[in-house]
């Protein structure tokens, strides 16, 4: 058997995705590998295909117990013998797994990092022929990453105790230089084959909205999703509670996940979501690492996350099966304060000394700054993300809220001059710098108490922008800041002019800026519009078949107690609806249908399809 046969017969896919082949080849040639691919890029197959081909055992280190179960389930479903070792097993179950391991019954075994250096574990594993050690979510090893897990540091110790070092393969979606370096150094990868694939996820729509009322906006967005699966991320436990209550009251099958719940409730809620008993998961960032539920069709951020890394990872949980999905962030100024507050919180069990801690804090603030700039961006959101990860990208993806808003380049030289001179005059009059709120009030001719107390109505710029929305003035100020004409003091928020401002004020430099067109505001496409746009994918008739197949899938999944997506992914059902196979050999040609699954489910699906042809 070769890798193509494994891909087709077991997993039912026709071709490898970018990067997969190089990593698999590396492993099969006995080299260490390091794969850096976005969430949903298909990292699992990079160690699962070799696991099916290699003679000895493949051990996978994975950070989350609850998710190993699903991975193992999915592997068994395609005919690859697999097991997991973690604290969810009772002593009897554990002994059974060890016994079978010794018999060579498994091709792949998932382990929790905490287990790695227990004596029994090491003893048993040093007697086995280990061909491959795969470290999933390898960024957990780095203190600089998002999700540092001290237990990941045990991996190296485990390796050193083995009589023979297996091939080591590391995988992560985190692209920052520091984390990459840590992974390679701490795991002591030996001249690894490095593969960094493109970070783009073209099937994801990116949108930022600044609603007046987030609850209403959320309900509006969810209405378009009907009974599709999705995640709503909130910044705090409190927000999770209130949003989850709101959705439940509105009749949504919502559940929640955050660190304040008991471990049991977390596990139950997660299961409910994975098995489609609940369609909306409302959660803090504690939820989701390693989740490979493939039919998540939207990820909405009720609050802004702390970094683009975190955002892209969380949003990336949508559309993993390659079907169109939406990632929408509901932004408000309050989010910036909350995020800052969270960054300043002292950590429990802080492993860092004060100097390191200060460096981390500074880095966190920089990351936050980039995130805020994303939220306020009027240019292509996707290319902002890609450039952040160091991937060159030309602007204009056509599938984000900035691209679809058709912002018009507008000459704002006049407004810029007024604004800058207002900043200067207020400062000259008061002798100190003030924030954008007061500047807006002056420009709009506000009659507020503060204005009269400070006698700012005497200024010549007072009321010069009457009638312009405060938000537009803020947008202009922000644009000037990004262009290096203005600077906001990070501590007290005071605005001051930069040197270059003189070019606009006195030398006639022109300023243009992208502004929303008169009527159309940058609302994202509705589901309906999006689906129409993607009409090429499924016709109305096919859509109907697809819905019927989905219903059948849920029925089958319930019957055997597995999550629906482990039966077939949405992408597979869509392909099925398109190809409308009539017999088994046609059925096998559907993407995502392997040999075993065609045997198990083929009959039921073929029968359902008969009703439509």
Residues that bind Zn ion (CB under 5 A): 380, 382, 397, 400, 403
Which CB atom, from 74 or from 422, has the smaller least distance to ligand ADP? 74
* Residue numbers 536-575 binding ligand ADP by CB under 6 A: 569
Burial-class residue 490 by CB neighbours within 10 Å (0-12, 13-18, 19+). Answer: exposed
What gap in Å lies between CA 542 and CA 112, rounded to an integer?
A: 43
Count interface residues toward Mg ion (CB under 5 A): 1
Q: Which of residues 44-73 bind ligand ADP (CB under 6 A)?
A: 44-45
**From Zn ion, ligand ADP, Mg ion, none, which one binds at residue 323 (CB under 5 to 8 Å depending on kind)?**
none
C-alpha distances out from residue 322 to 42, 77, 572, Å: 11, 21, 10
Q: Report the alpha-carbon distance of residue 600 to residue 557 in Å, rounded.
A: 12
Name every residue whose Cβ is closer than 8 Å to that of residue 281 and which is 6 or more positions away in sequence: 230, 231, 232, 254, 255, 256, 257, 269, 270, 273, 287
For 197-275, strand residue ranges (E) read 204-209, 229-233, 254-257
**Of residues 136 and 570, the one with the C-beta less far from Mg ion:** 136
Give residue number: closest CB to Mg ion. 43
For residues 500, 504, 506, 507, the Cα torsion angle rounded to the nearest 10 degrees is: 90
The partner in contact with residue 125, picked from Zn ion, ligand ADP, Mg ion, none with C-beta cut-offs of 5 to 8 angstroms by kind, is none
List all residues 6 or more positions away from 503 whose beta carbon is below 8 Å from its beta carbon: 509
Q: φ and ψ at 454, to 5 degrees?
A: -90, 0
For residues 1 and 306, what is the distance between their CA atoms, to the nearest angstrom? 46
Q: Does 16 bind ligand ADP (CB under 6 A)?
A: yes
Please, what is the minimum distance in Å from the beta carbon of residue 292 to Mg ion?
Answer: 6
Q: How far is CA 585 from the centre of its chain?
A: 37
- Smallest gap from Cβ 334 to Mg ion, in A, equals 33
Report the C-alpha gap between 121 and 447 in whole angstroms.
74
**Site for Mg ion, residues 529 to 558, rule: CB under 5 A:** none
Q: Which of 40, 145, 288, 319 binds ligand ADP (CB under 6 A)?
A: 40
Which residues, 20 to 49, sit near Mg ion by CB under 5 A?
Answer: 43
Residue 17 partner contact from Zn ion, ligand ADP, Mg ion, none using kind-dependent CB cut-offs of 5 to 8 Å:
ligand ADP
Helices (H) then strands (E): counts for the chain = 27, 17
Which among ligand ADP, Mg ion, Zn ion, none contacts residue 380 (Cβ within 5 to 8 A by kind)? Answer: Zn ion
Nearer to ligand ADP, 16 or 374 (CB): 16
Binding partner at 304 among ligand ADP, Mg ion, Zn ion, none, C-beta below 5 to 8 Å by kind: none
Q: Which stretch binds ligand ADP (CB under 6 A): 37-45, 58-66, 453-461, 511-519?
A: 37-45
**Binding partner selected for residue 400 from Mg ion, ligand ADP, Zn ion, none, CB under the kind-specific 5 to 8 Å limit:** Zn ion
119, 121, 172, 128: which is closest to 147 by C-alpha? 172
Instruction: Output the smallest distance, CB 339 to Zn ion, in A.
Output: 24
* Integer Cα distance of 538 and 102 in angstroms: 49
Q: Kindly provide the b/e burial profile for residues 530-545, where b requires at least 16 CB atoms within 10 angstroms of the residue's own CB.
A: beeeeeebbeeebeeb
Choose between 524 and 594: whose C-beta lies nearer to ligand ADP.
Answer: 594
Measured from the CB atom, is 391 or 526 closer to ligand ADP?
391
By C-beta, is 137 or 182 nearer to ligand ADP? 137
- Specify burial of residue 317 (Cβ count, 10 A radius: 0-12, 13-18, 19+): buried
Quote the least distance from Cβ 565 to ligand ADP, whole Å.
7
Nearest distance from C-beta of residue 406 to ligand ADP, angstroms: 33
Closer residue to Mg ion (CB): 41 or 522: 41
Residue whose CB is less far from Zn ion, 230 or 522: 522
Please answer whether residues 260 and 237 qualify as being in contact, where contact means their C-beta atoms are separated by less than 8 angstroms. yes
Residue 13 vs 462, nearer CB to ligand ADP: 13
CA distance 13 to 22: 17
Decide: helix, strand or coil at residue 357.
helix
- CA 76, CA 216: separation in Å to the nearest integer? 43
**Residues in CB range of 550: below 8 A, 6 or more apart:** 564, 570, 573
**Residue (409 or 467) nearer to Zn ion, CB:** 409
Considering only residues 290 through 329, tell me which ones interact with ligand ADP, judged by CB under 6 A. 292, 294, 320-321
- Name the residue nearer to Zn ion (CB basis): 296 or 403: 403
* Binders in 238-297 for ligand ADP, by CB under 6 A: 292, 294
If one asks whether residue 43 binds ligand ADP (CB under 6 A), the answer comes out as yes
CB of 332 to Mg ion, least distance (A): 32
Nearest approach in angstroms of CB 201 to Zn ion is 12
Binding site for Mg ion (CB under 5 A): 43
Binding site for ligand ADP (CB under 6 A): 13, 16-17, 20, 37, 39-45, 292, 294, 320-321, 569
């Amino acid at each position: 058997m070769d890798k193509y046969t494994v891909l087709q017969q077991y997993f039912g896919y026709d071709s490898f995705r970018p990067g997969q082949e190089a990593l698999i080849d590396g492993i099969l040639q006995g080299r260490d590998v390091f794969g850096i691919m976005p969430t949903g890029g298909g990292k699992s197959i990079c160690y699962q295909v070799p696991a099916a081909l290699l003679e000895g055992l493949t051990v996978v280190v994975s950070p989350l117990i609850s998710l190993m179960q699903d991975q193992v389930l999915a592997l068994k479903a395609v005919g690859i013998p697999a097991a997991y070792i973690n604290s969810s097993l009772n002593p009897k179950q554990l002994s059974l797994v060890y016994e079978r391991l010794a018999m060579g019954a498994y091709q792949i075994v998932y382990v929790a990092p905490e287990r790695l250096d227990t004596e029994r574990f090491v003893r048993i594993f040093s007697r086995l022929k280990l061909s491959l050690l795969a470290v999933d979510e390898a960024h957990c090893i780095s203190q600089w990453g998002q999700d540092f897990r001290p237990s990941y540091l045990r991996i190296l110790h485990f390796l050193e105790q083995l009589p023979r070092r297996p091939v080591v393969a590391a995988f992560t979606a985190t692209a920052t230089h520091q984390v990459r370096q840590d992974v390679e150094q701490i795991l002591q990868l030996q001249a690894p084959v490095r593969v960094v694939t493109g970070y783009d996820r073209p099937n994801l729509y990116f949108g930022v909205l600044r609603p007046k009322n987030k609850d209403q906006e959320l309900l509006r967005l969810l209405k378009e999703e009907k009974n599709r699966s999705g995640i709503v991320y909130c910044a705090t436990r409190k927000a999770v509670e209130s949003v989850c209550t709101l959705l439940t009251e509105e009749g949504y099958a919502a559940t929640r996940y955050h660190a304040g719940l008991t471990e049991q409730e977390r596990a139950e809620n997660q299961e409910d979501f994975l098995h489609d008993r609940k369609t909306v998961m409302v959660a803090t960032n504690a939820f989701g690492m390693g989740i490979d539920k493939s039919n998540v069709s939207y990820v909405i951020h009720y609050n802004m996350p702390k970094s683009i890394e975190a955002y892209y990872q969380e949003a990336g949980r949508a559309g993993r099966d390659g079907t169109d999905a939406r990632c929408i962030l509901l932004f408000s100024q309050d989010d910036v304060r909350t995020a800052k507050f969270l960054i300043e919180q002292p950590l429990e069990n802080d492993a860092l000394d004060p100097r390191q801690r200060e460096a981390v804090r500074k880095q966190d603030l920089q990351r936050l700054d980039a995130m805020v700039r994303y939220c306020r961006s009027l240019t292509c959101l996707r290319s902002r993300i890609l450039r952040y990860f160091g991937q060159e990208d030309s602007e204009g993806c056509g599938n984000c809220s900035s691209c679809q808003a058709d912002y018009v380049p507008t000459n704002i030289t006049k407004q810029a001059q007024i604004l800058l001179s207002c900043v200067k005059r207020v400062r000259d009059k008061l002798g100190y710098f003030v924030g954008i709120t007061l500047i807006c009030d002056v420009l709009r001719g506000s009659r507020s108490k503060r204005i009269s107390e400070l006698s700012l109505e005497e200024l010549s710029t007072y009321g010069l922008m009457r009638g312009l929305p405060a938000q537009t003035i803020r947008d202009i100020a922000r644009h000037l800041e990004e262009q290096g004409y203005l600077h906001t003091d990070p501590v007290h928020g005071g605005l001051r002019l930069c040197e270059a401002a003189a070019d606009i004020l006195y030398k006639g430099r022109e300023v243009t800026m992208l502004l929303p067109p008169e009527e159309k505001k940058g609302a994202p496409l509705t589901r309906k519009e999006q689906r129409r746009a993607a009409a090429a994918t499924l016709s109305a008739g096919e859509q109907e078949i697809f819905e019927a197949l989905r219903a059948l899938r849920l029925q089958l999944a319930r019957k055997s107690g597995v999550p629906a997506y482990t039966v077939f992914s949405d992408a597979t059902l869509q392909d099925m609806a398109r190809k409308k196979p009539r017999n088994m050999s046609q059925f096998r040609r559907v993407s995502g249908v392997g040999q075993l699954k065609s045997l198990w489910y083929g009959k039921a699906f073929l029968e359902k399809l008969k009703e439509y042809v």
